[in-house]
Structure formats: structure tokens, C-alpha cells
Amino acid sequence: MTEVDSNLFRRATEGDRDAFWRLVTPHRGLIYSVARGMLGSHERAEDEMHDVLIAAFKALPTLRDASRLPSWLYSVTRNHVLDLIRREQRLRRAAEGAAHLAGETSVARVVTISERTEKERWLDAMEEGLERLPEPFRVILGMKYMNDYSCREIAEILDLSVAAVKSRLFEARKLLRRKMQALMAKGEERSHGMR
């Protein structure tokens, strides 16, 4: 960390919001990638970034080593999103319980299928495939391909070896490719069945 960054870090831990913002701005992509990977949605990740930054600002005085900022931000983001997911699960279970007690049944969603270009179907399959990947794979793919982190940077942030990062990236790409192929094949079957 440079002397300027050390000064920003010191000022930020003392409550200087401008210094905090300047310190974390280069790491917003990391926060987004982690939130996107865990939540599976661009919109939700964007919505949660603000809350993560507030939580990070409040907790920054607990960080002793400024050089650990990226991995610390990863942890803050992950913990915030995990808390959000747990709250949503509790609310969903409570709503389902209330609906069950009231004798309601769930309403099936009706989806109309229209003809699409191959590229649109491929993009949809990629998006859905990403959503179906396990969280660690979504996070690592987001860090690598959406935010252009090197394998070494990812390893430092996630506290993994570079070899482990490369292995996870390989497995994530392979699993995503399989999921996309299955989704594309399923889409083909549906479109043939509609004709």
C-alpha cells in the first residue's frame, strides 16, 4: 500500500467518508462480483452494494492491516449477503406457512415461448447457467471475467493458492458449459414441441 493509500486508510478508519470512498472505489468491482455471484442477479447485486459499503464503512476500524482491504471487503460482502439470504429464507418460510394455514395453493407461472435468435437463446442459457452454478464458481467467474482480476489477485482475496484458483476456474467453466448445453438442448426440445 502506498503512502497516499496509508493516509487514506488512516483517515477512513477515523470516519472520513471521502477518504473511505476513495479507498474502496477501486474495489467496487470485487464487491459487485461477490454479491452477483451469491445472489445470481445483476439488479440485486447493484441494490446490495450500497448496503455493503455502509457496513464496510462502519466496520473499517476493525481492519488492522490496510493491505488486507480486498480480502476484508470480500468477507464483509459475503457476510452481508449471507445475512440477507437467511432473512429472505425466514420470510419465505413464514409466508409459505401462512399461505398453507389459509389453504392457499401456489399459482403456476405461465411462460410464453417466442422464437428467438440463436444469440438471444445462448445469452439466456449463459445467464441461467450462471445462476445454477454453485456460489463459489459464480464468484470466481465474476471476479475473473467481469472484473478482470488476475489469478494471483483472486488467490490473495480469497486466501487460496493460485493453483486452486486456476482449478476452480477450470471446473467452473466446464460446469457452466455443461449447464448451457443442457439448457440449449432443453430449449430446442421445447421449440420443436410447440410446432
Cell of 74: 470480500
| Number of H-type helices and E-type strands within the chain | 9, 0
Residues 69 and 8 placed together within one structural domain of the fold: yes
Q: Does residue 106 sit within a domain? A: no
Q: Does residue 109 sit within a domain? A: no
- Is the CA virtual torsion 153, 175, 180, 89 positive or negative? negative
Higher pLDDT: 117 or 153? It is 153
Question: What is the tens place of the pLDDT at every residue in 54-83?
Answer: 999 999 999 988 888 999 999 999 999 988
pLDDT category at 107 given cuts 50, 70, 90 is very low
Q: Which residues contact 10 (CB under 8 A, 6 or more apart)?
A: none
Closest CA to 127 of 36, 32, 28: 36
Cell of 108: 403456476
Where in the sequence is the domain holding 63, given as residue range(s)? 3-101
Determine the pLDDT at residue 121: 72
CATH number, residue 167: 1.10.10.10
Q: Does residue 111 sit within a domain? A: no
Counting the structural domains of the chain, the total is 2
Q: Angle between the 17-24 and 3-13 helix axes, to the nearest 10 degrees?
A: 130
CATH number, residue 60: 1.10.1740.10
Question: What is the tens place of the pLDDT at every residue in 120-143?
Answer: 677 777 788 888 888 888 888 888
